[in-house]
Amino acid sequence: MGMEPISLDTRARELLERAATASSGRAADTVHGGHAQALRQTLLALMAGTDLAEHESPGEATLLVLHGHVRLSSGDASWEGRSGDLLTIPDERHALDAVEDSAVLLTVVKRP
């Protein structure tokens, strides 16, 4: 059983347009999986200066920066990510800040 390919570039552009008009400055769309499945991939768009406040990770996770520049932080540590960078999300409380208008693909495998 096949599935049609998803253009992450096209979806990212669409989400960035939605985020630009959203009061939160953010937009998101799950592109694979969901809450009932172990693997979930979510496309997130954040306008410059917006963030995802400190939160726990529901499982092992990575962040692929598709467009822009973000800062992932946890405690006193922080990591910069730019287009094409893959960041491993720490297994502790963390936050994500958009340094520039950005689109990222969040991949999470939930803990059993």
Sequence spans of domains, the chain = 8-110
Mean per-residue pLDDT, 73-78? 94
pLDDT over threshold 80, residue 97: yes
Assign 73 a pLDDT band (cuts: 50, 70, 90).
very high
Domain 8-110, CATH? 2.60.120.10
Mean per-residue pLDDT, 37-56? 92
Q: What pLDDT is stored for residue 13 in this prediction?
A: 96
Q: φ, ψ for residue 7 (rounded to 5)?
A: -85, 105
Assign 1 a pLDDT band (cuts: 50, 70, 90).
very low
